[in-house]
Amino acid sequence: MSIAIDIAQQPARGDRSQQGALALALLSALLVAACLISLTSGPTGVGLRDLVSYLAGSLLSGHQTLSKQDLIVLEAVRLPRTLLGLLVGAGLGLSGAMMQGLFRNPLADPGIVGVTSGASLAAVAAIVLGPTLLLPLQTALGAQFLPLMAFAGALINTGLLYRIATRGGQTSTVALVLSGISIGALTMAATGLLIFLADDRALRDITFWSLGSLGGATYGKALSIAPFILAALALLPFLARGLDALVLGDAAAFHMGIPVERLKRISVLVVAGACGASVAVAGSIAFVGIIVPHLLRLAIGPSHRFLLPGAALGGASLLLLADSIARTVAAPAELPIGIITALIGAPVFLLLLLGRGGRGLID
């Protein structure tokens, strides 16, 4: 074990922490740019000049020179949408990176611990059964019905999986993966049954939900998911140290003083909260959780100290940029954002892999 500690403490050959710090700085700058683009692009043509005069109005002079409509576009449409995109993107990127670290598998995503399948089942149930069986619940919760259902579905499904995979205080990641596959098949079957029962309108709603969107963003939505994302960010130092140690295996990490079981429990809980909340308000947005951590690993290596915050920054940037495109390219209509994240992400990813002669896959 002394070897591992030596490596951790001495700046050895292959130390990429300088690269990591640089990448974080660049990603922060990218995120600021993405926020600006998100705030200044859209079908109404409210642009940078309007944003500047809005900021000057609200911060300096105290009275607005913008027209009422432009004010509404900025305050009621774009600002909540940018905030929501920031949170959802950070949540998705971070969750993906954590799952890959926890399972020591570069293809892992929050779907493995049942977050997306549970949220999907509950969301589809909300759409299909909302006007009939679940009507009292729907009328009581109003517009929050679907997001709350999806979030509850994500938590329940993940909790169930975790219980199944835990024997005598030990959680086996292999058992988690395997029971995840069978529970996933069950939720798929239940979702399929609901789809069979659905009418055409519900089918169409399901399709759009499954492609994701930041449309209909409100401050309420952003506020309600913020605690889950912020909690995940606050736990980053603890998680990063633990996940770095976990690379060596459960036993080695334990001997390095990492509370392995607690780490697993907290990781799963954080992912269920952050990813579940993201999926609940924005639908299932594919690919952000896979592509962003991978790109980062290619650039700065596998150290979670930089990877986790980088994935949060990168995920937020990617989602904001994708959303800016989604709402302008088919204006005045909107494309589902899942299409854009995959359309941007996949080719960039492929190019990087090809550029490294395919070695990136094995790193």
Partner 1 sequence: MRLSSRLTCPDRSGLPRLVLAFFGFALLSSTVVRAADSQPEAHRIVSVGGTVTEILYDLGAGDRIVAVDSTSFYPPEAAKKPNVGYMRRLSAEGILAQTPDLILTEAGSGPPDALAVLAQSGIRLINIAEPPAAETVGARIRAIGAAIGKTSEADALAGKADDDLAKLKADLAHLPPERKRVMFVLSIANGRIMAAGKETAADAMIRLAGATNALADSTGYKPLSDEAVIAAAPDVILTMDQGAAPVKAEDVFALPALAASPAAKQKAFVSMDSLYLLGFGPRTADAARELASRLYPEAAIR
Tell which positions 342-361 bind partner 1, by CB under 8 A.
Answer: none
Beta strand 166-167 with 170-171 is antiparallel
- Of the two residues 221 and 305, which places its CB atom closer to partner 1 in the complex? 221
- Of the two residues 119 and 272, which places its CB atom closer to partner 1 in the complex? 119
- The residue from 333, 357, 358, 362 that contacts partner 1 (CB under 8 A) is 333
- From 91-99, 150-158, 176-184, 205-213, give the range in contact with partner 1 by CB under 8 A: 205-213
- From 71-79, 110-118, 183-191, 231-239, give the range in contact with partner 1 by CB under 8 A: 71-79
- From 47-55, 164-172, 182-190, 328-336, give the range in contact with partner 1 by CB under 8 A: 328-336
| Binding flags for partner 1, 118-147, as an x/- string (CB under 8 A) | ------------xxx--x--xx--xx----
Bridge partners, 171 (sequence order):
166
Q: Is 283 helix (H, G, I), strand (E, B) or coil?
A: coil
Would the CA dihedral through 45, 48, 53, 56 be positive or negative?
Answer: positive
**Cβ contacts of 30-36, under 8 Å, gap ≥ 24:** 30/313, 30/314, 30/317, 31/86, 31/313, 31/316, 31/317, 31/320, 33/317, 34/316, 34/317, 34/320, 34/321, 34/324, 35/82, 35/86, 35/320
CB of 107 closer than 8 Å to CB of 290: yes
CA 338, CA 344: separation in Å to the nearest integer? 10
Tell which positions 171-200 bind partner 1, by CB under 8 A.
Answer: 196, 199-200
Bridge partners, 206 (sequence order):
none
- Of the two residues 38 and 341, which places its CB atom closer to partner 1 in the complex? 38
- Residue 204 as a binder of partner 1 (CB under 8 A): the answer is yes
- The residue from 78, 264, 294, 297 that contacts partner 1 (CB under 8 A) is 78
- Of the two residues 149 and 256, which places its CB atom closer to partner 1 in the complex? 149
For the chain, the C-alpha Rg in angstroms (whole number) is 21
- The residue from 57, 106, 159, 215 that contacts partner 1 (CB under 8 A) is 215
Residue type at position 19 = Q
Bridge partners, 170 (sequence order):
167
Give the interface size with partner 1 as a residue count (CB under 8 A).
39
CA 273, CA 151: separation in Å to the nearest integer? 8
- Of the two residues 109 and 334, which places its CB atom closer to partner 1 in the complex? 334
CB of 315 closer than 8 Å to CB of 288: yes
Minimum CB distance to partner 1, residue 218 (Å): 6
DSSP letter assigned to residue 167: E
Q: Pick from 334, 360, 301: which is nearest to 19 by CA?
A: 301
- From 32-40, 89-97, 207-215, 229-237, give the range in contact with partner 1 by CB under 8 A: 207-215
- From 40-48, 184-192, 255-263, 298-306, give the range in contact with partner 1 by CB under 8 A: 40-48
Would the CA dihedral through 276, 282, 284, 288 be positive or negative?
Answer: negative
CB of 98 closer than 8 Å to CB of 308: yes
Minimum CB distance to partner 1, residue 13 (Å): 52
- From 264-272, 290-298, 330-338, 349-357, give the range in contact with partner 1 by CB under 8 A: 330-338
Bridge partners, 166 (sequence order):
171
Minimum CB distance to partner 1, residue 343 (Å): 18
Bridge partners, 167 (sequence order):
170
Tell which positions 41-60 bind partner 1, by CB under 8 A.
Answer: 42-45
Q: Which spans of this chain sit near partner 1 (rule: CB under 8 A)?
A: 42-45, 68-69, 72-73, 76-78, 130-132, 135, 138-139, 142-143, 196, 199-201, 203-205, 208, 213, 215-218, 221, 327, 330-334
